[in-house]
A and B are shown apart, each in its own frame.
Chain A
Amino acid sequence: MTILLKLFLAFLKIGVLTFGGGYAMIPLIQEEAIANGWMSTSSLSLVDYIAISESTPGPFAINIATFIGMNEAGILGAIVATIGVVLPSFVILMLVARFFARFSTNDTVKSIMKGVRPVVVGILLAVMISFTVKAIFNVSVLDFTFAYFDYKALIIFTVIFVLSRLAKKISPVFLIVIAAGLGILLYGVF
């Protein structure tokens, strides 16, 4: 019972604090994962969860909540985690629809968002650096060393990056499939 309550509260917190799209929730999930011991017994890491959530339909936040809930406490875990992450949006948007027709032009809301938006950008830039370093150098940013540098990962990273810049409309699913193919080719065949 307590594990369900913990899952619910953790995703409720994540749901309240996620602004600016799914990826901004990554550090929130990482911190909750450490605090609650999520993913400790799984062969999947957060990067795997992100990849799978990106290549399946539906909002990223829902996918990842369902995934972690399911892995930690089965179907009930999936249900409470998903309800937790959705509930803040659900309640807030109903209140806005009912009471605040001019919500987004309200001075208080605008001033708060003026502080939140840059902070979310800063967070996302930090997540970007740490995931890139982790993918290519196999270390966390603070323990940075060239000792585990993975040139194959750098090749895949470069190909995918250039591809995503050249074809801006390219689907993330397609990029993930290409990266998977390159991974099998470079690590498995060569």
Chain B
Amino acid sequence: MKKNILLDLFLTFLKIGAFTFGGGYAMIAFIAKEAVERHKWITEIEFMDLIAVAESTPGPIAVNSATYVGYKLKGFWGAFFATLGVILPSFVIIVIISFFIEEFRSLEYVNYAFTGISAAVAVLIINAALKLYKSLEKSWFSIVLIIIAFSLLIFNVIPTPYIILSGGLIGFIWYLICKKKVVDHS
């Protein structure tokens, strides 16, 4: 019985990894359908908690979800097989592509295609940035942080890791100074 759940976890997250593109939020609906509705591994409330946790922890949301659901169900090995399942399709596909991409990329017409694609990538990043901006709680505190982080990065002043870590530190210090309950935006 135990073995079956591990296999089930592995196969379900393998499917999730193989059929969602772009990762992130595209995967949430699929994971909910599989883990909540179909297998009833976690309840809807647990799933909402999981999304909240995934938003406050680093890393891809797909990996966060796989680890969390797997661990809740079957401890370490549950987490291990669910996570392995979700990353395996990406891994195999990219390894295969990388065997021929260099030569493929240097073909003349492929080069034209990729020049066009770089404009599409800019659009994808614009849409992701605007979406994240819209989901953010606007206050003078967050606007000031946005402007500072933006300027530091665009003028290449400090390496990005320090900018991110400073953001967390400033958030925490600000909380200590205010000593009042932080109201969550979501």
Contact A98 B63 (CB under 8 A): no
Contact A59 B23 (CB under 8 A): yes
Contacts of B67 in A (CB 8 A): 89-90, 93-94, 97
Interface residues on B, range: 35 or more
Contact A117 B59 (CB under 8 A): no
Shortest Cβ distance from A32 into chain B, in angstroms? 10
Given contacts A88-B59, A107-B182, A124-B128, contact A175 B153 (CB under 8 A): no
A93→B133 CA distance, assembly (Å)? 25
Main secondary structure of the interface of A (DSSP, over half): helix
Contact A44 B105 (CB under 8 A): yes
Contacts of B102 in A (CB 8 A): 42-44
Name the CB-closest residue of A to B27: A59
For A, the interface residue count at a CB cutoff of 8 angstroms equals 107
Given contacts A44-B102, A121-B136, A180-B114, contact A56 B128 (CB under 8 A): no
Contacting residues of chain B (97-124) with chain A, CB-CB under 8 angstroms:
97-98, 101-102, 105-106, 108-109, 112-124
Contact A123 B150 (CB under 8 A): yes
Contacting residues of chain B (28-75) with chain A, CB-CB under 8 angstroms:
49, 52-64, 67-68, 71-72
CB < 8 Å neighbour of A66 from B52, B53, B86, B91: B91
Using a CB–CB distance below 8 Å, which chain A residues touch chain B?
13, 15-23, 26-28, 31, 42-44, 47-48, 50-63, 66-67, 70-71, 75, 78, 82, 85-86, 88-90, 92-94, 96-98, 103-105, 107-132, 134-136, 141-142, 153-154, 156-157, 160-161, 164, 171-173, 175-176, 178-184, 186-188
Q: Beyond A21-B25, A66-B95, A116-B167, list 15 extra A-B contacts (CB 8 Å).
A: A59-B27, A61-B23, A66-B91, A67-B94, A70-B95, A78-B98, A97-B68, A111-B171, A114-B141, A123-B164, A125-B133, A128-B126, A135-B121, A180-B116, A184-B113
